[in-house]
Amino acid sequence: MPFRAVLLFALLVLSLAAGAVEIDGHIDPAEWAGALHITDFRDVQPLSGKPGSMPTEAWVLSTPKGLAIAIRATQPPGVPRTHQKTRRDEDALVDRINVMVDFNGDGRTGYDFEVTSTGGIADEVITNESTFSYDWDGVWDHAVSEDEQGWSVEVLIPWYVAQMRAASDGKRTIGLYLDRIVASTGERMAWPVASFSKPRFLSDFKRIEIPAYTQAMFAVTPYLVATTDRVRGRTSFQEGADVVWKPNGQTQLTATINPDFGQVESDDLVINFTPEETFLTDKRPFFTENQGIFDFSLLDDYTQLVYTRRVGGTSDDGSGPADIAGAVKLNGSVGATSYGVLAAQEKGDAGRTFGALRISQYMGDQSLGMLATTVEHPWLDRYANVLGIDHRWKPSASFDITSNIIASHIDQPGHNSTGTGATTVINNELSPVWSQQWLGMHFTDSLDVNDFGYLDRNGFNYGHYEVRERLTGLSPDSSYSSHYWRYRITVMNNTHGLPLERELRLTRDSLRRDGGEEIWQLRVDTAGYDDLLTRGGNPLHLPPNVTLTYERTRPRIGNWSWTLDGTVTGNELTGARRLGYLLKWLPTYFISDAFSVFLGGSYERDPYWMIWQHDNVVGAFDGKTYGVNAGLNWNFGTRQELRVKLQALGVGGHLRQAYEIDRDGRAIASNEPIEPLGVVNLGFQIRYRYEIAPLSDIYVVYNRGGYDSDIADDNATSNFRRSFDLRKVEQALVKVSYRLEF
């Protein structure tokens, strides 16, 4: 046989062998021959950079079937292990590993693949350096094995799992981060040394060059939901489908027809009397698949230019949630330029049309992007257009600047407007102990991005300076393994120069040696104004105030775990002279590793709860809220779970006094008649899930509850009891979805 033929045959055999890793949880040295071998795992929780307390090894191999990673976690019998079963995406402190990959190696979007020692999984999208979202669910392989000296994990991530730029000369540079967590101590050992508690996380992933492969995938996931509405006495059927086509890593197309709005997911109960809208996440598969490119944060909490819960939200004609006819999304890249196009259409005469275009250019230590959105409201004769430009510059490993500018234009008879905004945040790592941050924002009164985006308020100028101190060298006798101090000074005015906030904030985030976490925060505010309370009327003058909050998470020790939240604060009328408080406690008892029950409660007291009524009139209520949070989780087998969740809230407020806010911000006593404050809210769900195959499920769900604010009773205790009788919604449904791959 000629030498060239022998060589080609040998290369073919090696190529086939490289793709022959069997994902069974048993790390076979022959299978992983030639893989990148990593042994230098160091502590990042606490963030000391010291070698981890137990040996951890990893192997990384690029194969035709995907990126393969194996991790060996040594954990001898003397170190307690968790055997707790977890449902998908459950945030539980158990022994686990994380594989985080930035497929483009540019620090823009990452993907986290988490596997617990008992085989439970979670997956997340990482954007804006360190913002994690559990909403996304991907298709990838994993397996776990355990022995006396530790446990092993193997993971295979298909190349079609995420959009990525084209390779160069058969090679691809990715960003990679691996870690393992020891639940009994909370220790996190990682390679490389990077931490999501720092401003830079994605950018600190280790860049490695690997052989490039490409995979194609076409999948259709039809679903059927049968619902019985026991309140209205009717049965309905809803069907639809999600389609995903990924011919290669550079082009990925997703579409949905009549998407499910998420009937099997239940949002936590929220009672909100403020003018700020409550932010809710989105679990609909279409709106989570390849959504990372549309992340355009205004660098303030949940703010986004694309907030997908708008699609299918409350209809413009007030008839309830809008039905979605369909939506399509195209993601791709050309060279160093990535792009995304999103379009969605609702049904009916009031059906809105949504569109978004995203372009992002990677330029070494800089990136530049553009996002344009448009929404058409035929029922309101309204057209809303928003344009945003964002820029990120990372001149060094310790310094980065992120900025964006946005503009909105609303075209509606009698309500035309144009607004602008800008944000800049600067992070500077001074040393392993000290870092600092500057942040500035300016949003005009007429800026309006909420047709498609989310911005809790406009019309303000904001700035803060924060110094951070990280302490890791604590005494071995201490209950804590590290402290992370943040010292912040904040100044905020509205665009008319009215002082809204002058605040000193001290925060200590501590990791405990039992694996738990403890957070203290003290906020001291000088006098200012609340210009939102009266919804555009006269602003209310606020006296000086003090707020102290405490959060404690105790992981499972024996059969028990619990969380505790507490707040003591003044109020908008009397400031720190009359304090209110909030207390939440949620203990969980583990009957077994697969079966747990929880029963907790909450109590909130606000002696002068200022609630807007109309015009410049507000009511000062002696407000009380009682709440209960109870349920069970049973993860039996590897594909079945049963969840029961009960949340009930009862609110009552005795009217102390009606006030009218004058032009100077003073609260003037008024004889304006005001209705009693009484609210009840209930959410009860029984949900059974059976996983037929990856992303293919059968759900059987019972929901009951609702919200009622027209209660002529200001007694919180009786309203709490009354909440259990609430039956605004009562339905049973069965949902079947099955993913077909071609």
CB–CB of 419/402 below 8 Å? no
pLDDT by residue (tens digit) across 574-583?
Answer: 999 999 999 9
| Nearest-10 Cα torsion for 131, 136, 142, 144 | 60
pLDDT by residue (tens digit) across 686-697?
Answer: 999 999 999 899
| 3 state DSSP class of 130 | coil
Read off the pLDDT band of 135 (50, 70, 90): confident
Beta strands in 591-676 (DSSP E): 595-614, 617-634, 640-661, 667-670
Assigned token pair, 372? 């344009």
pLDDT by residue (tens digit) across 443-474?
Answer: 999 999 999 999 999 999 999 999 999 999 89
pLDDT by residue (tens digit) across 201-214?
Answer: 999 999 999 999 99
Residue closest to 371 by CA, chosen among 102, 110, 127: 127
Question: Residue 18: is its pLDDT beyond 60?
Answer: no
Measured between alpha carbons, how far is 354 from 358 in angstroms, rounded to an integer?
A: 14
Q: What is the rounded average pLDDT for all residues in the chain?
A: 92
| 3 state DSSP class of 283 | coil
Residue closest to 393 by CA, chosen among 384, 385, 402: 402
pLDDT by residue (tens digit) across 248-294?
Answer: 888 999 999 988 765 677 777 778 888 889 888 888 888 888 888 99
State mean pLDDT over 405-425.
Answer: 96
Percent of the chain at pLDDT > 90 equals 82
Whether the link from the prior residue into 76 is cis, omega within 30° of 0, is no
State mean pLDDT over 44-54.
Answer: 94
- For position 301, what pLDDT does the model report? 80
Q: What is the DSSP letter of 14?
A: H
pLDDT by residue (tens digit) across 360-383?
Answer: 998 888 999 999 999 999 999 999
Instruction: Considering only CA atoms, give the Rg of the chain.
Output: 27
- For position 263, what pLDDT does the model report? 63
For the ranges 76-90, 600-614, 657-671, which has the lowest average pLDDT?
Answer: 76-90
pTM of the model: 0.90
pLDDT by residue (tens digit) across 503-516?
Answer: 999 999 999 998 99
pLDDT by residue (tens digit) across 652-697?
Answer: 999 999 999 999 999 999 999 999 999 999 999 999 999 999 989 9
Write down the domain spans for the chain.
21-215, 235-261+277-456
Higher pLDDT, 336 or 225: 225
- For position 9, what pLDDT does the model report? 41
- For position 434, what pLDDT does the model report? 96
CB–CB of 287/262 below 8 Å? no
- For position 262, what pLDDT does the model report? 58
- For position 1, what pLDDT does the model report? 46
For the ranges 249-253, 300-304, 435-439, 641-645, which has the lowest average pLDDT?
Answer: 300-304
State mean pLDDT over 176-185.
Answer: 95
Read off the pLDDT band of 3 (50, 70, 90): very low
Measured between alpha carbons, how far is 515 from 80 in angstroms, rounded to an integer?
A: 12
State mean pLDDT over 153-182.
Answer: 94
Measured between alpha carbons, how far is 210 from 61 in angstroms, rounded to an integer?
A: 8
- Cβ-proximal residues to 29 (8 Å cutoff; 6+ apart), any chain: none
Read off the pLDDT band of 4 (50, 70, 90): very low
- For position 261, what pLDDT does the model report? 61
- For position 300, what pLDDT does the model report? 76
Q: 701-721 burial, b if ≥16 CB within 10 A, otherwise e?
A: bbbbbbbeeebebbbbeebbe
- For position 691, what pLDDT does the model report? 94
- Classified by CATH at the fold level, domain 21-215 comes out as Immunoglobulin-like (2.60.40)
Mark out the alpha helices in 369-469 (DSSP H runs): none
Question: Residue 5: is its pLDDT beyond 60?
Answer: no
For the ranges 127-136, 174-183, 436-445, which has the lowest average pLDDT?
Answer: 127-136
Measured between alpha carbons, how far is 481 from 510 in angstroms, rounded to an integer?
A: 8
**Residues in the chain, total:** 742
Measured between alpha carbons, how far is 615 from 624 in angstroms, rounded to an integer?
A: 25
Assigned token pair, 406? 């946005």
